[in-house]
Amino acid sequence: MYGGGNVFETMKATALADEDPILLAAFEARIDRGEKIEPTDWMPQLYRKQLIRMIEQHAHSEIIGSLPEGTWITRAPGFKRKLALMAKVQDEVGHAQLLYSAAETLGKPREEMITDLINGKSKYSNIFNYPAFTWADSCFISWLVDAGAIVNQIANSKGSYGPYCRALERICAEESFHLKYGHHCVIHLATGTKTQREMMQAAVNRWWAPMMHFFGPSDKISVHSEILMKWKVKMASNDECRQQFLDMYVPKIWELGLTVPDENLKKNTVTGEWEFTEPDWEEFKRVINGDGPCNAERIAVRRTAEERGRWVREALLAPKAKYVAPLA
């Protein structure tokens, strides 16, 4: 699961000054023609750097994202839910595996990426810094956070880097099952007993603000990234993704008798755009910079897992082996 809000490297005006203009022109022409760039092809340093950063953030989001939902595997009510949730969270970990391997084709080893995650150098999707208090929270994540991720990932799967696009296609196919599972869970709660309905509404109330943040800051205030759009690294703007999500899912939320905690939320019939209260971008910044309800806990869990598993990885170490092929 992953949304927008990518933290891209600040680009200097001179970033492309050292690149060979002929190679650069050929590279851009290939992208214009809709060709995919493969690991052994020539690419500008900036393209490589930004892609590593984006794919790495995506991979981290998958493993960190498995934590809030993972805590509900052992508490899922009934066999059907227990089995489905296990499979769902397992998929997320599998996505991380696919994505780390895609990023590795650009030259950064998995261990190094995980070290950067643990040290706080590398980011992940902000939404996982919020706690999943109840079963209904886990259902909200499975349905709507995954739905948001699909919007973003389908756009990115049309990008220019071959291994990332192929990984995303596989990921989206699995995410579509997650969405069905999550929707099924939410329907049961929203149309269930009074306790279940209240539990579901409380989850929507809790998760709405993080969900709006999920797609990243408004285009009005986010860093301009024309060159990343031109190179098909970033495929849709944060606002475009957010609008698409609202258009697809707000009616479905309302249909279940649930309310959305934003009295300004409505579709403008003239422009066709959704209007809403501007999300609190100061909070977004605060949380992404480490001061959210669960940042410390999420990283601590990951660090502990890494430390506890070190002896296993050392026992597997074959220093001469070199990984080259992407999984997708």
Which one, of 61, 71, 72, lies nearest residue 2 by Cα?
61
Instruction: Classify residue 214 by its DSSP letter.
Output: T
- What is the β-pairing status of strands 266-267 and 274-275? antiparallel
Could you say which of 8, 11, 94, 256 contacts another protein (CB under 8 A)? 94
Residue 193 within binding range of another protein, rule CB under 8 A: yes
Give residues with Cβ within 8 angstroms of 296, minimum separation 6.
290
Which member of 7, 15, 301, 327 binds another protein (CB under 8 A)?
Answer: 301
Binder of another protein out of 48, 180, 188, 252 (CB under 8 A): 188
Instruction: From 89-97, 154-162, 229-237, 266-274, give the range in contact with another protein by CB under 8 A.
Output: 89-97
If one asks whether residue 312 binds another protein (CB under 8 A), the answer comes out as yes
The encoded tokens of residue 37 equal 């760039």
Stretch that binds another protein, among 15-23, 69-77, 202-210, 278-286 (CB under 8 A): 69-77
Instruction: Measure Cα distances from 234 to 6, 187, 239 in Å.
Output: 9, 34, 13
Total length of the chain: 328
320 sits near another protein (criterion: CB under 8 A): no
String of contacts with another protein for each residue 119-138, x by CB under 8 A? ----------------x---
Whether the CB-CB separation of 2 and 153 falls below 8 Å is answered with yes
Sign of CA dihedral 44, 112, 69, 211: negative
Q: How many residues bind another protein (CB under 8 A)?
A: 44
319 binds another protein (CB under 8 A): no
**CA angle (144 as vertex; 241, 207 as ends), nearest 5:** 100
Residue 294 CA from chain centroid, whole number: 17
In the bound complex, what is the minimum distance in angstroms from residue 215's beta carbon to another protein? 25
Q: Which two tokens stand for residue 237?
A: 């703007």
Least distance to another protein, CB of residue 317, Å: 9
Give residues in contact with another protein (CB under 8 A).
63, 66-67, 70, 72-79, 81-83, 86-87, 89-90, 93-94, 96-97, 100, 135, 185, 188-189, 192-193, 195-196, 301, 304-305, 308-316
